[in-house]
Chains A and B, each alone.
Chain A
Amino acid sequence: MRLLTHNMLCNPMKGFENAFPLKLIPTKITKEEVKYNPAFIVNMIPKLDYKALTYAASTVGVKDLPSELPLQISAEQHDVLLRSLHHTLLEIHVEEGKLVCPKSNREFPIKQGIPNMRLNEDEV
């Protein structure tokens, strides 16, 4: 599971859709190179919850993200920042671990890099 996905996922249970971000507890992390695409990162920046991203980055050991993003971002001026975001969002994989809902404490396990967001029948 990449950190981009963690930045998007919420608890699917009714009434808990605003429980975001899910707590990230990684137990196994790998890193894999992905082709750098600055246009995609610039497109995604308005959609990111940056606070949640800095939280997730801290749980996986990434410390070089700034505390705030500049208002205007361009691929030419902010190359270092974009590369750092690219690495954080796309190149770090949480292979094993769990996501925990901050409101209900319901755990969603991550195995083989795939988080299990399925609910039990009694939770629906």
Chain B
Amino acid sequence: QLLKLPQGKSCYILDIGCGSCLSSQQISRQGHIWMGCDISRDMLCLGLNKSKRSGADLFESDIGYGVPTRPGVFDGAISISAVQWLCVKQNRYQNPQKRLIRFFRTLRKCLAFDARAVLQVYPEDTKQMDALLNSARTSGFQGGLVVDYPKSMRAKKFYLCLWKPETYKKKPTKRDEKDFAAFGGAAADDDSVDYNDDNECDAEKNNSKKKSKKRRKNNE
């Protein structure tokens, strides 16, 4: 739903940190073809049969070195519980900040102009969440965080929902804002939805702030 793939079209999707391809099967069921990458060859081998049956493909890669593909090839990108690992230093040579930027920059490059990336993350703390959001913004993405079931400790899920600035040359429609609000009332809590500061149209930034102020007043 968040990926907003065009209806009736068979798309090419990147699954980042696909592991044994359990979640990627959902993409196949919708009629799309996907390419999965993971740092663990053992996990990829577990998903080999699933990928072969569905016309998909796998490659072994560390996303901290970027997404090694040509620009503009994917119609969408998803990830489940992989990207937050970029915040963690795996050895003494690694610089998490550089790895995050390289990942988001190359991710932005490999997506088609109207494609979105929806990354489900499990950040350890607000510091990691901030690092992810800031790196995505610095790399030129727009979008923000969608929180599903924000009031449930168990079911709460965080989705980084990102797109390129070129996607919305015009003001986002009311329907787009409703989409964010639809997920557990995320837009009602202003802290959980944050639009890019480099937004081309300042008017839409002011509009969204006014709307959230109004909502808070109504709630009180």
Chain B residue numbers with a CB within 8 Å of A12 are 61, 65-66, 68
Residue B172 at the chain A interface, CB threshold 8 Å: no
The yes or no answer to A34 lying at the interface (CB within 8 A) is yes
Chain B residues whose C-beta falls within 8 Å of the C-beta of A85 in the assembled complex:
none
Partner of B60, one of A11, A117, A121: A117
| Contacts A20-B70, A32-B52; A114 near B31 (Cβ below 8 A) | no
CB-based contact A43/B12 at 8 Å:
yes
The main secondary structure of chain A at its interface with chain B is loop
Asked if residues A116 and B41 are in contact (CB atoms below 8 Å), the reply is yes
A118 within 8 A of B: yes
For residue A10, CB closer than 8 A to chain B, the reply is: yes
A70 to B12, CA, bound (A): 22
Smallest CB gap from A1: residue in B:
B57
Complex contact B41–A43 (CB within 8 A):
no
Chain A residues contacting B62 (CB-CB under 8 Å) are 118-119
Q: Which residues on B sit within 8 Å (CB–CB) of A11?
A: 68
Contact B59 A115 (CB under 8 A): yes
Q: Interface digits, A101-124 against B, CB 8 Å rule (1 contact, 0 not)?
A: 000000000001111111101001
1/0 per position for B44-80, CB-CB distance to A under 8 A? Answer: 1100100010010111111001101110110100000
A37 interface residue, CB < 8 Å from B?
Answer: yes
Interface size in chain A (residues, C-beta < 8 A): 33
CB distance from A71 to the nearest CB of B (A): 20
Most chain-A CB neighbours within 10 Å: which of B33, B37, B91? Answer: B33
Task: Compute how far the CA of A33 lies from the CA of B13 in the bound complex, rounded to whole angstroms.
Answer: 21
Interface contact A8-B35, CB-CB below 8 Å:
yes
- Given the interface pairs A5-B35, A43-B11, A44-B12, the reply to whether A117 lies near B73 with Cβ below 8 Å is no
Known: A8-B69, A114-B48. A47 touches B59 (CB 8 A): no
In the docked arrangement, what's the CA distance between A32 and B48, Å? 13
In A14-37, which residues have CB < 8 Å from any B CB?
A: 20, 32, 34-35, 37
Within 8 A of A (CB), among B2-48: 9-12, 31-33, 35, 37, 39, 41, 44-45, 48
Given contacts A8-B35, A40-B10, contact A117 B70 (CB under 8 A): no
Q: List 7 A-B contacts (CB under 8 A).
A: A1-B59, A34-B55, A43-B10, A47-B73, A117-B60, A121-B93, A124-B65
Residues of B within 8 A of A (CB): 9-12, 31-33, 35, 37, 39, 41, 44-45, 48, 52, 55, 57-62, 65-66, 68-70, 72-73, 75, 91, 93, 112
